[in-house]
Structure 1
């Protein structure tokens, strides 16, 4: 059943609000999760070779060979479930109600705000907290 005009307008408003509130989340949700077939070939090859090494190590009583096989199998499965790395350039800006994008404060292409890791997370959370406090007028 198709959406009514009102429902479509509300949905578009929600999308714009999400994009302006958190552009990174919106980009993540819009990105396609397609992965290269080469990735799956490498994973399959790693798992099969790892299994062969594990069985061969157990058959010949060479523990180190079995451990290498297990590690290879584990690495293959971890590689299969890991998300591919992307070049993050940070948020492009804020989406206006008319659909145009204006650059955000301090968003320079090619630079990530706050860095990575735990310190970067804390910095981003502090920035968000400060923005919210200033918006509320406190």
Structure 2
């Protein structure tokens, strides 16, 4: 069943809001998640080599060789999955009319940060600031 025009418009506004609020999450949700095949091939070769060294260490009852084999296997798998390059998503803010525009300059905030904190304090400070802004808009 197709969506109505109103539902499509609401979904588009939600997508723009998500993109402006958390561009990294929006990029993760939109990406296909494909990594280069060569990365997996090299990691597979490292995994096989590490396994062979691990078995060689077990056969020769040399614990150091076995540990080296395990470390090689672990590093190959970690390199394949954990250390993939990340792309930056689009940045901007959603305006009242639903369009997306560039972020205002950091000094453009009318309210002074509480407690002498910098605007770039971190994730929790930004969440608290957004919460206060939304609470103030509801009044």
Q: TM-score, normalised by structure 1?
A: 0.71
Cα distance in 1 for residues equivalent to 2:104 and 2:131: 16
**How many Å apart are 1:61 and its aligned residue?**
1.7
Contact 2:17 2:93 in 1 (8 A): no
Matched, 1:123 2:102: no
Matched, 1:63 2:63: yes
Q: Which structure 1 residue ranges, 5 or more long, are not aligned?
A: 108-120
Runs (4 or more) in structure 1 with deviation over 4 Å come to none
Cα gap change, 1:83 to 1:102, in 2 (>3 Å): same
Aligned to 2:93: 94
Give the number of the structure with larger relative contact order, counting CA–CA contacts within 8 Å between residues 6 or more apart: 2
**How many Å apart are 1:3 and its aligned residue?**
2.5
Matched, 1:2 2:2: yes
Q: TM-score, normalised by structure 2?
A: 0.71
Cα distance in 2 for residues equivalent to 1:102 and 1:91: 10
Judge which range, 69-78 or 93-102, deviates more: 93-102
Contact 2:92 2:100 in 1 (8 A): no
Q: Which structure 2 residue ranges, 5 or more long, are not aligned?
A: 108-119
Cα distance in 2 for residues equivalent to 1:134 and 1:4: 31
Cα gap change, 1:128 to 1:91, in 2 (>3 Å): farther
Contact 2:19 2:91 in 1 (8 A): no
Contact 1:23 1:94 in 2 (8 A): no
